[in-house]
Amino acid sequence: MYEVYEGPRYMRYVNTVLAVAAVIGLALLYFWLYTSVLGWDLPKTALLKKEHARWQSRLAVVNRQLDLYQEALEGIEERDDDVYRSIFGLNAIPQEVKNAGFGGLNRYEYLDRLGADPSLKQTLKRIDMLTKRTYVQSMALDEVYAISRNSGDMKSHIPSVPPILPDRSQFRVSSTFGGRTHPVYGVIRFHEGMDFASHVGYPVYATGDGVVELAKFQFTGYGNEIVIDHGFGYKTRYAHLSGIDVASGMTVRRGDRIGSIGNTGISTGPHLHYEVIYKKNRINPYHFMDLDMSEDEYKAMIEKRRAEATPRRRSTNELLQGRN
**Model pLDDT for residues 208-219, shown as the tens digit of each residue:** 999 999 999 999
Give the confidence band of 318 by pLDDT, cuts at 50, 70, 90.
Answer: very low
Check whether 168 has a pLDDT greater than 60: yes
Q: Distance between CA 245 and CA 214 in Å, rounded? A: 12
Check whether 227 has a pLDDT greater than 90: yes
pLDDT at 98: 78
pLDDT at 311: 57
**Which has more pLDDT, 36 or 177?**
177
Q: What are phi and psi of 53, to 5 degrees?
A: -65, -35
Check whether 105 has a pLDDT greater than 60: no
pLDDT at 249: 94
pLDDT at 36: 61
Give the confidence band of 312 by pLDDT, cuts at 50, 70, 90.
Answer: very low
Average pLDDT over residues 193-222: 95
CATH class of domain segment(s) 157-309: mainly beta
Average pLDDT over residues 156-170: 93
Average pLDDT over residues 222-236: 94
Give the confidence band of 27 by pLDDT, cuts at 50, 70, 90.
Answer: confident
Give the confidence band of 231 by pLDDT, cuts at 50, 70, 90.
Answer: confident
Check whether 147 has a pLDDT greater than 60: yes
- Pair 240, 198: CB distance under 8 Å: no
pLDDT at 189: 81
Hey, CA dihedral for 74, 96, 276, 175, is it positive or negative? negative
Q: Which residues have CB under 8 Å from 120's CB, separation 6+?
A: 59, 111
From the CA atom positions of the chain, what is the Rg in Å? Answer: 41
Average pLDDT over residues 22-42: 64
Half-sphere exposure of 23 toward its Cβ, with a 13 Å CA cutoff? 5
What is the overall mean pLDDT for the chain? 82
- Kindly state the percentage of the chain with pLDDT values over 90: 36
Half-sphere exposure of 118 toward its Cβ, with a 13 Å CA cutoff? 0
Check whether 116 has a pLDDT greater than 80: no
pLDDT at 320: 43
Check whether 10 has a pLDDT greater than 70: no
Check whether 173 has a pLDDT greater than 90: yes
Q: Distance between CA 187 and CA 107 in Å, rounded? A: 58
At 274, the amino acid letter reads: Y
Average pLDDT over residues 91-113: 72
271-278 vs 234-244, strand pairing mode: antiparallel
Give the confidence band of 316 by pLDDT, cuts at 50, 70, 90.
Answer: very low
**Which has more pLDDT, 111 or 199?**
199
- Pair 8, 15: CB distance under 8 Å: no
Q: What are phi and psi of 4, to 5 degrees?
A: -75, 125
Check whether 29 has a pLDDT greater than 90: no
Please state which of the ranges 35-49, 90-104, 144-158, 296-310 shows the lowest mean pLDDT: 35-49
Q: Which residues have CB under 8 Å from 270's CB, separation 6+?
A: 197, 198, 199, 200, 202, 240, 242, 261, 262, 263
Q: Distance between CA 279 and CA 257 in Å, rounded? A: 25
